[in-house]
Amino acid sequence: MEFTKKILITGGAGFIGSHVVRLFVTQYPNYHIFNLDKLTYAGNLENLSDIDQSPNYTFVKGDIADTAFINELFTTHQFDGVIHLAAESHVDRSISNPMEFVITNVIGTVNLLNAARATWGCSKDSKVEGKRFYHVSTDEVYGALGEEGMFTETTAYDPHSPYSASKASSDHFVRAYHDTYNLPAVISNCSNNYGPNHFPEKLIPLCINNIKNNKPLPIYGKGENVRDWLYVVDHARAIDVIYHQANDGSTYNIGGHNEWTNIDVIRLLCKIMDGKLGRTPGTNEQLITFVKDRAGHDLRYAIDSTKLQNDLGWKPSLQFEEGLEKTVDWYLANNQWLESVTSGNYQQYYNQQYNR
Ligand code: NAD
Ligand code: DAU
């Protein structure tokens, strides 16, 4: 089959990336989707087992920080578009090992920018048509809010963790390549995602797993920090709309208008799971354990996504309670997934599938 476009999605074996790959592979059979992933602890090809035999899907194992490999990949395939999600994504890990975040999030991103620029012949004197570099970023680049206000696309960057500093740096490089070389780039900054395939080191899947196993639920500080939660499939839908419709050089904020303190999220989760597991109401709440706070813990995030809603007509499709219940159902039905990502069996699965 002749494909109309070749699109490289990086980090497609991770949480959000796998939902983006699935959406593009199923919604655009005329696009050839390449999923480039290093398969770190966070990458898992089982996330894509329902679509990995599709004729328009190809998996490539590799590291975005490997310059020679990235240059060769772009030369071989001449991609028309890049949707860049590969990253080290966990704030706590960035506090204990910041350099990995610099290497993947900053150097890896600049490698991709250089390869796209060279492949597309971008320069300040001319504009390339029909190409797109989409950089997926986070609301954490804006820093922390007090009790009032929301992040808009013009809020000044003020990152506090090594993770958010590395993402902010990568955003600056993407804008610099647009402004300096006319690279046809767009950026989006999204709030906290939740849903199926979320790695169980992050708050919601960690607590689902711990409730299931009757283990303590570690809440940092007093649980008063606020996050704005968005169902992961709604993020993937927003990426689709922005990829196809945004102007070069533009930025969009993506969020759920759905602010919750951590303690309220976990109380709701406990209640949902009391019902699902047939436990007496109030049982799971007893697992809540307040622990030492995260260093530099941002108090509150809240995204104003009015621009995306008004310009491109996107809006979230799910209410939080409904999305959280769906998420719990997925984890309870996919015990094997949880066990394999937490036990290290995953490498065996990969070796069998790919005969390596
Ligand atoms: P994740 O940690 O679940 O997945 C990251 C993926 O990138 C994994 O598959 C991993 O194997 C791959 N990867 C890591 N280093 C790599 C490298 N050097 N080369 C190639 N692949 C590599 O992350 P996620 O939560 O799905 O986040 C995806 C993107 O979205 C990130 O850029 C993150 O900053 C951004 N983001 C995440 C959230 C969220 O709530 N999770 C919100 C806003 C933005
Ligand atoms: O806002 C978008 C960001 O959301 C993304 O850019 C990041 O990649 C993603 O990991 C997420 O960052 P957070 O730090 O907000 O997510 P996390 O799940 O680690 O924590 C959510 C909140 O819960 C935060 O206030 C810290 C708190 N927390 C977290 C963990 C893991 C706890 O109280 N206990 C925990 O054990």
Residue 341 in contact with ligand 2 by CB distance below 6 A: no
Nearest ligand 2 atom to alpha carbon 161: 14
Q: Is the pLDDT score of 154 beyond 60? A: yes
Question: 5: which strand partners?
Answer: 31
**pLDDT at position 203, please?**
98
Q: Is the pLDDT score of 347 beyond 80? A: no
Residue 348 falls inside a structural domain: no
Query: What is the Cβ-side half-sphere exposure of residue 79, based on CA atoms within 13 angstroms?
Result: 27
* C-alpha triplet 23, 24, 30: angle, nearest 5°: 140
300 phi and psi, to 5 degrees?
-150, 135
Helix (H) or strand (E) holding 58: strand 57-61
Q: Please, are residues 174 and 113 in contact by the beta-carbon 8 Å criterion?
A: yes
Single out the residue of 209, 211, 305 nearest to residue 257, CA to CA.
305
Our count of domains for the chain comes to 1
Residue 340 falls inside a structural domain: no
Residue bearing the CA closest to ligand 1, atom 17: 63
**d(Cα 324, Cα 343) in Å, to the nearest integer?**
25
Residue bearing the CA closest to ligand 2, atom 25: 225
Q: What percent of the chain has pLDDT over 70?
A: 97
**pLDDT at position 342, please?**
86
Each residue's pLDDT tens digit, 164-197: 999 999 999 999 999 999 999 999 999 999 999 9
- CATH number of the domain that residue 31 is part of: 3.40.50.720
Q: Is the pLDDT score of 351 beyond 80? A: no
**d(Cα 38, Cα 11) in Å, to the nearest integer?**
8
Q: Give the pLDDT band of residue 267 (cuts 50, 70, 90).
A: very high
Nearest ligand 1 atom to alpha carbon 65: 18
Residue 51 falls inside a structural domain: yes
Residue 277 falls inside a structural domain: no
Residue 268 falls inside a structural domain: no
Residue 56 in contact with ligand 2 by CB distance below 6 A: no
14 phi and psi, to 5 degrees?
-85, -170
Nearest ligand 1 atom to alpha carbon 37: 21
Helix (H, G, I), strand (E, B) or coil at 289: strand
| Distance of CA 275 from the midpoint of ligand 1 (Å) | 32
Active site residues: 139-140, 163
**pLDDT at position 346, please?**
65
**d(Cα 12, Cα 85) in Å, to the nearest integer?**
7
| Distance of CA 42 from the midpoint of ligand 1 (Å) | 8
Helix (H) or strand (E) holding 266: helix 262-276
Q: Please, are residues 133 and 115 in contact by the beta-carbon 8 Å criterion?
A: no
Maximum distance among all Cα pairs of the chain, rounded to whole angstroms: 69
Each residue's pLDDT tens digit, 132-153: 999 999 999 999 999 999 999 9
**pLDDT at position 325, please?**
98
Residue 163 falls inside a structural domain: yes
Residue 79 in contact with ligand 2 by CB distance below 6 A: no
**pLDDT at position 126, please?**
86
Residue 236 in contact with ligand 2 by CB distance below 6 A: no
Residue matched to tokens 């980090």: 11
Q: Please, are residues 294 and 220 in contact by the beta-carbon 8 Å criterion?
A: yes
Residue bearing the CA closest to ligand 1, atom 32: 85
Residue 346 falls inside a structural domain: no
Question: 187: which strand partners?
Answer: 135, 251
Nearest ligand 2 atom to alpha carbon 193: 4
**pLDDT at position 340, please?**
86
Q: What is the mean pLDDT of the chain?
A: 96
Residue 156 falls inside a structural domain: yes
**pLDDT at position 298, please?**
95
Q: Which carries the bigger pLDDT value, residue 306 or residue 339? A: 306
**pLDDT at position 353, please?**
60
| Distance of CA 277 from the midpoint of ligand 1 (Å) | 31
**pLDDT at position 349, please?**
62
Q: Is the pLDDT score of 352 beyond 80? A: no
Evaluate if pTM is beyond 0.95. Answer: yes
Residue 211 in contact with ligand 2 by CB distance below 6 A: no
Residue bearing the CA closest to ligand 2, atom 19: 202
* C-alpha triplet 269, 23, 138: angle, nearest 5°: 60
Each residue's pLDDT tens digit, 84-94: 999 999 999 99
Mean pLDDT in residue range 123-129: 91
Each residue's pLDDT tens digit, 198-257: 999 999 999 999 999 999 999 999 999 999 999 999 999 999 999 999 999 999 999 989
**pLDDT at position 67, please?**
98
Q: Where are the beta strands (DSSP E) in 62-184?
A: 81-84, 132-138
**311 exposure class (CB count in 10 Å sphere: 0-12, 13-18, 19+):** middle
**Residue-range definition of the domain harbouring residue 36:** 5-195+229-259+297-320
**pLDDT at position 236, please?**
98
